[in-house]
Amino acid sequence: MHSIHPRRVPERRFSQFFIASFRSADCPGVDSPRRFHRRFHMSTVGFIGLGIMGLPMAENLVKAGYDVVGYNRSARRVDALVAAGGRGASSIAEAVKGSDVVITMVPDSPDVVAVAMGEDGIFENSHSGQLVIDMSTIEPATARAVAEAGAKVEVRVLDAPVSGGEAGAVEGVLSIMVGGAAEDFAAAKPVLEAVGRTIVHVGPHGAGQTVKAANQLMVAGHLQLLAEALVLAEASDVDPVIAVEVLGGGLAGSTVLDRKSENMLKRDFTPGFRLSLHHKDMGIVTAAAREAGVAIPLGSAVAQLIASLVARGDGGLDHSGLFKLTEELAGRTQ
């Protein structure tokens, strides 16, 4: 099994007692033997795609002790990573060369193909045994194609899409569903632990994206039902804040309710995850369902509601913006 090749400082062997002695005000951030190990046995991570999700993920890798080299089409996002302690790259090639691990976090399947397989992309600048982790949300078939292309140049590829939104990315508590070889998952897990809390190997290449499609299907359904429940409460002269408190304590409680009800109640749809991206994801969901030969009647209905919001120009809103359309359909716009 290939291993991630750390960039080492001169070796020392520390007892657990000596490691514990560094957990003090004199050494802030060294709060566990694992983090201590990372700071003294540092791996370089090339991070491509510093958007709403990518930037805080890259920053958490820096906090965990990794040497992070970031690339993004917008230089402003690269500058933000540098300010957080990372390093900036002016091209994909610069981010890839010299990195032990390369992470991609870009919008869609064509973007992943271009970044990984395109001219002067990852595979043209990779080295044998390098580990590439695509954390974007893309079609399962594309994930499999990228993995096959990587194998031809002796690059290990995992599809590892995430769930948890911007808040989860900032807090480092993302749920990560990983597809690929078990030994590659084992090698990648320490890196993934810097950005996520629930990290599960779900199967072969493409399986991570299939589980992510199921996740996006459920999130869309929860958002729409939450919107309908709040509109119903308000139309019935029930305080929706009290309704949310009660709903959250029962079987209807969910992470969607906890994180998105306030957006709906305040009519604040500042994007954490844009409707345009969820629209893309629902396209992946419907395509996956068609390929598997299964019906998703409720999912199809929500997909159409999201599509209508995007078509009329609301794609830049947070996906909790489903509440906006639900209010309008009920004739209760403020």
Per the rule left: phi > 0, alpha: psi between -120 and 50, beta: everything else, 106 is beta
266 catalytic per annotation: no
Dist. CA 325–CA 43, nearest whole Å: 47
Quick check: 278 and 212 in contact, CB under 8 A?
no
Quick check: 179 and 204 in contact, CB under 8 A?
yes
Nearest to 104 by CA among 59, 75, 71, 81: 71
Quick check: 187 and 177 in contact, CB under 8 A?
no
Which DSSP state fits 319? Answer: G
Dist. CA 194–CA 187, nearest whole Å: 13
Tokens of 156: 């290990």
List, as one string, the DSSP characters of 19-41: HHHTSSTTSTT--SHHHHHHHHE
The single residue of 63, 97, 212, 260 carrying the catalytic annotation is: 212
Strand 7-8 relative to strand 41-42, pairing: antiparallel
Tokens of 62: 């820096």
Looking at the chain, which runs of residues are DSSP E strands? 7-8, 41-42, 44-48, 67-71, 87-88, 101-104, 131-134, 156-159, 162-163, 174-179, 196-203
Quick check: 127 and 99 in contact, CB under 8 A?
no
Dist. CA 285–CA 50, nearest whole Å: 25
Tokens of 192: 């993934």
Task: Provide the CB-side half-sphere exposure for 21 (13 A, CA).
Answer: 5
Q: Active-site residues: which are they?
A: 212
